[in-house]
Amino acid sequence: MQSKIEIIKTEDGSHSLYIPDMKETYHSTHGALRESEYVFIKNGLDLINTGNEINILEVGFGTGLNTFLTFLESEKNAMKIFYQTIEPYPLEENIFSALNYPDIIAPDKSSFFYDFHKVPFGEKIQFSKDFVFQKHLQKLEHLQMQPEFLDLVYFDAFAPSKQPELWELGNFERIYGWLKNKGVIVSYCASGQFKRNLKAAGFFVETLPGPPGKKEMTRGRK
């Protein structure tokens, strides 16, 4: 993707990545782990209780942190999850193998974290009795998904100022169509245009307190 990626340590001790060419980090420098747990687990996954398999789409696999945290929640709570994620610019092994998430979150599950990065794109893989995983080597605008299939979307793309094409109204209209009734989209982003686009696509939009170091975040409900 970019010519250079640097591993940095955030305030909670967990790693993130910094791309000098974009002047952009993959997570909040105030704590990558805290941000992911708060935004995507506490304010996303914890709201979904279908009693059946939970279908999740993550926009931006990136470091694999959100996937790993969701897998651990599935293991802990016996939640059946089909987790799909898109990533057009996967990390090289020398980068993802140096990330410290397994060591500080669940050392006994570290092999799963690395396998999420290593498994072939496009294949649907049963990682445990409750967790099925599939990643797609493509951009959001090219993704095909059956209507009213998803329960939850983690929208974890780079900031609108860095990847504006991902934050356009058309993408949120498509996501709205993919979500079941009462489905949820959740993001760290709280920009006014993002919330206006969600509303225009049909979502009921909530502005929530943000994770450490960030005033607000956004959640949309169908």
Give residue limits of the domains in the chain: 36-221
Instruction: Report the CATH fold assignment for 36-221.
Output: Rossmann fold (3.40.50)
What is the value of pTM for the model shown? Answer: 0.96
pLDDT in tens, 128-158: 999 999 999 999 999 999 999 999 999 999 9
Q: Count other C-beta atoms under 10 Å from residue 75's C-beta.
A: 18
Helix (H, G, I), strand (E, B) or coil at 187: strand
Q: In the prediction, which pLDDT does 44 show?
A: 98
Q: Count other C-beta atoms under 10 Å from residue 139's C-beta.
A: 16
Q: Which residues are CB-contacts of 215 (< 8 A; sequence separation ≥ 6)? A: 190, 209
Q: In the prediction, which pLDDT does 197 show?
A: 98
Structure token digits, residue 44: 């996303």
Low-confidence ranges of the chain (pLDDT < 70): 1-3
User: Which of 143, 177, 145 is closest to 60 using CA atoms?
Assistant: 143
Q: In the prediction, which pLDDT does 51 show?
A: 79
Q: In the prediction, which pLDDT does 1 show?
A: 45
C-alpha span between 42 and 94 (Å, rounded): 31
